[in-house]
Structures are given as C-alpha cells and as structure tokens.
Amino acid sequence: MTTVHEPFPTAEWWRTAVIYQVYPRSFADADGDGIGDLAGITARLDHLAALGVDAVWLSPFYRSPQRDAGYDVADYRDVDPLFGTLADADALLARAHELGLRVVVDLVPNHTSSEHVWFQAALAAAPGSPERARYLFRDGRGENGELPPNNWTSVFGGQAWTRVDPSTGSGASDGQWYLHLFDSSQPDLDWTNPEVRAELEDVLRFWLRRGVDGFRVDVAHGLVKADGLPDWGGQVAMVDGSTDPGAPEDGSTPATESGPMFDQDGVHEIYRSWRRVLDEFDGAVDGERYSRALVAEAWVEPLSRLARYVRDDEMQQAFNFSFLTSRWDAAEYRAVITESLRSLDAVGAPATWVLSNHDVVRHASRFGLAVPGSRPNGLFATDPQPDEALGLRRARAATLFMLALPGSAYLYQGEELGLPEHTTLPDDVREDPAYFRTEHAEAGRDGCRVPIPWAAGEPGFGFSPTGKTWLPQPAGWAAYAADAQAGVPGSTLELYRAALTQRRRRALGAGGLEWLPGFTDDVVAFRTFRTDAGGVVVLANLGAGAVALPADARVLLASAELPGGGTLPADVTVWLEG
Ligand code: NOJ
C-alpha cells in the first residue's frame, strides 16, 4: 500500500466542497423567453439541495452584450436584463443560504466587453491617453502600422489584435491595435495599471457585500503578459492547453510552459491582494467566521506550476484540468491523482476534481468517442458520433471514483442526469464565437450548453414555461429528464445522490488516500480513509474485461448493476466498505 495523501480534518468548507456549476442561460427559465434566468435558478435550488452539493458556482450573469455568453462583461456591478435584476441576485443568494448552499460567482478580470464604458472611452480618446492605458493598445508594425503589433493568435482562432479604424464605428481613426486573447469584443485589460487593479478589487467588494461566498476567476493565468509582448511561435488554446514548440526535448520542465501571455509570475501579486480583500470580509455575514474562496480557472501545467496559484496567501483552489483532460486509462488516472495530491499537499491546498464544464465536450460523450477521453472542441453532426451507452457507462464510473477522492469536486449542470453532448446541432443555431473565429473548422462549445431537461412530458422538457429553449434539445432527452430519474433506482440522478450522501456522511473529502496493490493495471484501486473512521475502497475497472472483486467485498455503491459472482465488469466503479 502506498499512502499518497494523509487525512486533512478541517472546518473550512472549500477544502471538501462539492460545487455545482450553473450555466445561467441553460439551467432554468422563469420568464418564458427561452433563456435561463436568476429567478429560474432560485426556483430550482431545491433540486441542488436534494442532490447533496455544498455550493453553487454561477457562470456570469452580469450586464453584457452576450458575444461570449456573458464572459464579455459590460458592467460588473449589474445583472443583465436577460437574467433579471440585482434584486433577483439577492433573492437567489438568500434562498441558497437558507438551503445551506454557498454561492460562488464568476469574475472575468482578464478582459471586459468592448461595450464596457472604459473601452468606449478608450476608443474615443487619443493614443497615449489614460483611457487607452487601461487596455493593451499598441501601434502596428509595418510601414503604416498595418500589421498587428505581434504574432499572437486568439484562443478562439484568428489573430489576437484588432485595429481601430473608422469602420469599427468607434470614430477612432488613429489606427492603433488592441489586444484580445479571446473575441475581438473582449479587449484585454492592462494589469500593470493601478486603476485596473483598484477597480476589480472594488468589484470583489461589491459582491462580497452582497454575501457571495467566493469567486471563480476566469483566465486567472492570463492577466499579466510578458514585458514587451514578444512574438511567440506557439498556438494558444483553451481545450488542449497551449503548445510550446520551444519546450526542451529532454523532457525537463521548461521555465514557461504556456507562452508570454499566460502564467507569468506577476499574476501572483494580484491574487495576494485579492486574498487580503476576501479576508476583510471574514465574519461579515451573521458574524460567521469562514473564509470566502477564490478558485483559479488556469489552464496551467504541470500541476506543480498550478499549485503556485493556491499557495497560502493566494487563492484557495484551482481547477484541476489535468484530471479533466485525462484519457480513459487507469495508469493515466493513477498518475494524475498522485501528482495532484502531491503538488497541492506541498502548498497546503486541497486538490480539486472536475470532469465537465461549459467549455468542453460533456464527459458522457468524451468517453464514448473512438479515442475515449479525446477532446475535440465540440462535435459536428458529420463527425464520427460517440457511443452514447458506452459513454454514459464510463461517465458514471468516472464520476463515482472522482467523488471518493479527497478534496473538492466540481459538477457541471446536467451531468447528474447523465446528459450527453448535443452532437447534431444545426450549424445555423450555433453561437460560440470559436465556431465563427475558426471559420467553422471547430464546432465550439454550444453542444454542452443546451438547456436542461427537467420534465419528460413537457414542451422544452420543462426548461421554460413557454417550452422555448435558446438552443434545441435532442428529442431523446426525455429519458434524461430529472423527473424521469427521480426516485428511479439505478438512474444516474439517484447514483449521484447516493454518492454525495455517502461522501458527506463519511467525510471522504477530508480523507487520506492510499493506492491498493493486487489489482491489474487496468484497475484504479485506492482506499480513502480517516483516522477516526473506517474507509472506503474504490475499484474502477477501466479495462476491457471483468476482474474479480475481493472475496469479502461489501458493496456500498456501484456505477452499474453488478452481474453477481463476485466480479467487477468493464467500465464500472464500486465503493466497498473498507
Ligand atoms: C474561460 C471561460 O470558461 C470561457 O467560457 C470563456 O469563453 C473564456 N474564459 C473567455 O472569458
């Protein structure tokens, strides 16, 4: 037996929390326009409390032209009318807290919307002005400044620079360029500017005063760019991470994995100051003392680099995309789990685990692809289609071993229903800017953002009182609807509920972890334990054939029906009393 992580008894909620991601436009619609809203979320919070999660993370609901589904913020201190009002946000927070759920909101500090007053003022002002200095405006290269200032590309495709000229309607005719790592409607802020820092700290305080319990920090690795914005030969990407052609061939860790736009040392000072802001609010709600949490969305590898974001005086958590991007392979999972626990233990931070979110193909479909776990940026109807039944079987197995792991886990709305990706969306309904900026080479992320089916027999599966849905739902989703699964033994929803109940009862999030010997390489086999209580043995069979269960196995939970005869079939996870 090899112990890789000791139990960590603790009272801080974020060390062990299961956090459920709500994507507001697709969770539940109260006003009938076919786009989800805050009132819809509030009305469905009971579902989340009954599921057994500890916290909810809301993707952005701020005022926004919605060019990147709200990750293009025009006003950080207001709710977009699409989603409701500030009063609706307050009501959501109050109801969540009543149900014992913490609320984490999304903060988008790398860029604003081009409709933000700051950017509009920048366009109206002259080069070199304080208004331009909040963003990354530069003169172009070439004789007449007609070439972009450097060769960076946008994560969504195309170049990362746009030139201001009268044709943008901005009135600016000086021909400078501005940087946008994402869409041209998402200009990057200049984080060397103290005014930018002060403003975003004030935004943090605005939401902390309203009672939020934390922030998920968008593109946390991108805020600071290398001095001089040097050219770079790599290709930035979100789903696959960046590729650096200059990485050493001997396999040693390069100083910078991700190019001059990501993971620069300067980001850490920003998070230290944010941590101080959060600490001001300890005890602010009902005199309760618990720290609010910051979680980094940082596509940074290796894990030892990611761990720098969660050092003692920085953020509390960082998403573990190394786990999310693992292929369906037991050795790969063992390696990433060990490395995650070791790297994060080294800085005293909890590990986190995540399989799906609003940016990747849902894991129920990824695991049903010909290369299980491969990660295309969306799927077209003309692409080879995932095997739905196999993908779901593996997804349930993956979730079950994830939920036993020590630390904190993230769930993405609909995965508790076993939802697959919508892989046959008509192209004319797509909205993801990545689809357009790659000139339709990539399908993009719409397929994982389809409105949730709540009621099998209702129009739009109960997503909206009018039956409208901003993206069409596949007809086959009736079988996945929440009301078709609630109370049904063996359903995915009941599997999640049972796993979350056991996880909480046995405080697995605070457990230690040891690898168990004696199983074939295809089995992920570990025991999670506490010093004051018994443990749980977790066996996940990722191989092609059945394996024998230990003779005295007492099965607590299984991700699929077991055939009897003491075997664990392929693509099934069990929790055993241990
Ligand atoms: C990461 C978010 O998760 C994604 O949805 C968004 O498009 C980019 N950051 C840009 O904000």
Query: Which pLDDT score is estimated for 423?
Result: 98
Q: Which of 156, 218, 300 to mutate to test the pocket of ligand 1 (most atoms within 8 A of CB)?
A: 218
- 577 vs 413: CA distance, rounded Å: 29
Confidence at 173, pLDDT banded by 50, 70, 90:
confident
Tokens standing for residue 121? 């003022």
Q: Give me the active site residues, please.
A: 218, 280
- 442 vs 418: CA distance, rounded Å: 24
163 C-alpha to ligand 1 centroid (Å): 23
* Ligand 1 atom with the shortest distance to the CA of 434: 7
The answer to whether the CB of 55 falls within 8 A of the CB of 4 is: no
- 380 vs 402: CA distance, rounded Å: 29
Q: Which of 66, 219, 319, 360 to mutate to test the pocket of ligand 1 (most atoms within 8 A of CB)?
A: 219
> Rounded mean pLDDT of 95-118?
98
* Ligand 1 atom with the shortest distance to the CA of 111: 11
Q: Is the pLDDT of residue 284 over 90?
A: no
Whole-model pTM: value is 0.96
Q: Higher pLDDT residue, 10 or 276?
A: 276
Q: Is the pLDDT of residue 149 over 70?
A: yes
Q: Does residue 243 sit in helix, strand or coil?
A: strand
Query: Which pLDDT score is estimated for 60?
Result: 98
Confidence at 534, pLDDT banded by 50, 70, 90:
confident
> Considering only 186-200, 311-325, 357-371, 519-533, which range has the smallest mean pLDDT?
519-533
156 C-alpha to ligand 1 centroid (Å): 10
CB environment 529-568: b (16+ within 10 A), e (fewer): bbeeeebbbbbbbbbeebbebbeebeebbbbbebeeeeeb
343 C-alpha to ligand 1 centroid (Å): 25
Q: Can you say how many angstroms the Cα of residue 191 is from the centroid of all Cα atoms in its chain?
A: 23
Residue nearest to ligand 1 atom 5, measured at CA: 359
Query: Which pLDDT score is estimated for 165?
Result: 78
Confidence at 283, pLDDT banded by 50, 70, 90:
low
42 HSE (CA, 13 A, CB side): 19
> Rounded mean pLDDT of 313-341?
97
Query: Which pLDDT score is estimated for 82?
Result: 98
256 C-alpha to ligand 1 centroid (Å): 22
Q: Which of 25, 238, 437 to mutate to test the pocket of ligand 1 (most atoms within 8 A of CB)?
A: 238
Q: Is the pLDDT of residue 293 over 60?
A: yes
Report the alpha-carbon angle 187-235-342, nearest 5: 95
Q: Which of 67, 71, 107, 221 to mutate to test the pocket of ligand 1 (most atoms within 8 A of CB)?
A: 71
Number of neighbours of residue 255 by Cβ within 10 angstroms: 7
Q: What is the mean pLDDT of the chain?
A: 93
* Ligand 1 atom with the shortest distance to the CA of 108: 11
Tokens standing for residue 578? 């241990």
Tokens standing for residue 118? 């700051």
180 C-alpha to ligand 1 centroid (Å): 12
Q: Is the pLDDT of residue 170 over 60?
A: no
* Ligand 1 atom with the shortest distance to the CA of 219: 9
418 C-alpha to ligand 1 centroid (Å): 24
* Ligand 1 atom with the shortest distance to the CA of 357: 3
The string of DSSP codes covering 2-53 is: EEEE-------GGGT-EEEEE-GGGT--SSSSSS--HHHHHHTHHHHHHHT-
- 76 vs 520: CA distance, rounded Å: 52
Share of the chain above pLDDT 70, in %: 94
> Rounded mean pLDDT of 356-363?
98
Query: Which pLDDT score is estimated for 249?
Result: 40
What residues are in contact with ligand 1 under a 6 Å CB criterion?
68, 71, 108, 182, 218-219, 297, 358-359
549 C-alpha to ligand 1 centroid (Å): 43
Q: Is the pLDDT of residue 166 over 70?
A: no
Q: Is the pLDDT of residue 79 over 80?
A: yes
In terms of Cβ atoms closer than 10 Å to its own Cβ (0-12, 13-18, 19+), residue 385 is: middle
The answer to whether the CB of 435 falls within 8 A of the CB of 442 is: yes
Residue nearest to ligand 1 atom 11, measured at CA: 71
Q: Model confidence over 458-481: pLDDT tens digits?
A: 999 999 999 999 999 999 999 999
- 549 vs 539: CA distance, rounded Å: 9
- 196 vs 209: CA distance, rounded Å: 20
Q: Which of 26, 58, 68 to mutate to test the pocket of ligand 1 (most atoms within 8 A of CB)?
A: 68
182 C-alpha to ligand 1 centroid (Å): 8
> Rounded mean pLDDT of 397-401?
98
Confidence at 528, pLDDT banded by 50, 70, 90:
very high
Residue nearest to ligand 1 atom 10, measured at CA: 71
Q: Model confidence over 404-418: pLDDT tens digits?
A: 999 999 999 999 999
Query: Which pLDDT score is estimated for 169?
Result: 53
520 C-alpha to ligand 1 centroid (Å): 39
292 C-alpha to ligand 1 centroid (Å): 22
Query: Which pLDDT score is estimated for 448?
Result: 98
Q: Model confidence over 425-444: pLDDT tens digits?
A: 999 999 999 999 999 999 99
* Ligand 1 atom with the shortest distance to the CA of 238: 1
* Ligand 1 atom with the shortest distance to the CA of 156: 7
Q: Model confidence over 238-269: pLDDT tens digits?
A: 644 434 434 434 333 333 447 999 999 999 99
Per-residue CA distances from 454 to 38, 255, 270, 419 (Å): 16, 48, 41, 12
Query: Which pLDDT score is estimated for 171?
Result: 54
